[in-house]
Amino acid sequence: MTEKEKCAVGLLYNANYDQQLIQERISCKDLCQEYNGLKNSDSEKRNEIVRKILGSAKENICIEPTFWCDYGYNIEVGENFYANHNLVILDCAKVKFGDHVFIGPNCSFYTAGHPLDVKQRNEGLEYAHPITVGNNVWLGGNVVVLPGVKIGDNAVIGAGSVVTKDIPENAVAVGNPCKVVKSIG
């Protein structure tokens, strides 16, 4: 089983020495760097490059520079997607955003994690678990979403939150760790 195949099924894998994964990251980061260097007025070229980066994207998407991700092809973006400046997506596993998602500045989505066992961690092993963000979700600035988290439809995540566990639909959740504080509707 290749390191990429191990990653895809959620097993520990080593991305540090696997030439295929290294090359895929380099190619993606080159595209991110190109995207981040474009003028805001060059919307046609920005749209072209971001669609080369992302695995799939519907219409009406806007990702303000700077934007960084590891592979790009693991990211799915729905209709009417907006991400403010300094978006980071470590997409070793799938990251799926529904329709009408609004992301504040300085937000991060991390599918990658590292073992607690020091020997495994020092060997460079990591794991990746997918992240899913539903429809009509708003994430305030400086939110961090950790591996394996699902955020339900219509949820609002308060600024500065660290989302370590699933958030149900129609919930307002805040804090570190992020917890539901009330229901919407």
The set of catalytic residues is 114
Q: Three-state SS across the chain?
A: CCHHHHHHCCCCEECCCCHHHHHHHHHHHHHHHHHHHCCCCCHHHHHHHHHHHCCEECCCEEECCCEEECCCCCEEECCCEEECCCEEEECCCCEEECCCCEECCCCEEECEECCCCHHHHHCCEEEECCEEECCCCEECCCCEECCCCEECCCCEECCCCEECCCECCCEEEECCCCEEEEECC
- Exposed, middle or buried: residue 101 (CB in 10 Å: 0-12, 13-18, 19+)? buried
Phi, psi of 172 (to 5 degrees): -105, 125
Question: Is 145 within 8 Å of 132 (Cβ atoms)?
Answer: no
